[in-house]
Chains A and B, each alone.
Chain A
């Protein structure tokens, strides 16, 4: 999931001059550096104040290399967004067991999500904060990301005997509410608080499906697990 190397290590440049490294590898390495640089810069300065020149300089690539791979800053930003969401999706797929009870899956999913935010704050900020400030295409990506969460939450409707009464947009709204909370903590530079909020986040998320008592029990379990 998280890469423990420092940013400078992760941005390490390929050896200069002629070498025998395959062209595809070089292309991919440069791309990864530019996407990582974009995430770091956008998290630090905001989308508006991040320039193509800065991305190229931080990624240690030539300006022409940037334009070989991206037509604009927006295209690069969207690629960084897509790559981050895909990496998160892979982590969820690897770490979550779909055979476990739904409540446990949601609990673990939220825990993994918060862990990702804390370990990769730049990527989290890119996806949850700056995507809402980077134009219509980025905003649509953000909305799409919330919608990706919806099917897993929607499975919980089977646990509510009055499921037909639940609002159609409930799952996207819950995802939006959770994302908003994380957004606020990231903007305030208080992402270190997030893990402690897991029980309450879980309680709000589960209540529409399993009711207050079971949601509270799951929250208590999460709290006890965190304390241990």
Chain B
């Protein structure tokens, strides 16, 4: 396994590319909600752009060496960092900790794994609203998150 960022390992490159796209799309002065959609769209475009790379991301995430597991964990933790930004705006009945962001990120990751493994990406299925539901539900509440499922994202 090559050191991070040297570009000689396809898995490293794919994970880094995905993280960079999501981070770049997420950054900006918009609301957290809009940034979640922007980050999600960037991730979906990245996966659809090259379905073989999407499969590689899933298959290699479980290849068992410590470097690939560490890299996968870092990517999910990055997602948790981004989602955790909503905590300050959260007005629910109980305060939340970073633990909620980790559960939401894990749920998003679990969904992506299942969708890629089942061939959803190749079939062009749009599961972005489902991902946004998982990411926003703990912060925006059940009903608001359900509304996300009806959104038709721009392709």
Contacts and interface: CB of A to CB of B under 8 A. Distances in A.
A176 B62 CA distance: 15
Contact of B130 (A136, A167, A200, A213): A167
Interface residues of A, number: 47
Interface stretch (B1-9, B32-40, B41-49, B63-71): B63-71
Contact of A133 (B64, B109, B115, B134): B64
Main secondary structure of the interface of B (DSSP, over half): helix
A216 B105 CA distance: 20
Interface of B: 61-66, 69, 73, 76-77, 92-94, 96-97, 99-100, 102-111, 113-115, 130, 133-134, 137-138, 141-143, 145-146, 149-150
A44 to B, nearest CB: 14
Given A135-B62, A169-B111, 15 more contacts: A47-B64, A48-B64, A132-B69, A133-B69, A169-B114, A174-B103, A181-B102, A181-B103, A200-B99, A203-B100, A203-B138, A211-B142, A212-B141, A216-B94, A220-B94
Given A180-B103, A180-B105, A208 B145 contact: yes
A180 B106 contact: yes
Contacts of A178: 103, 106
A69 interface: no
A160 B145 CA distance: 13
Contacts of B63: 133
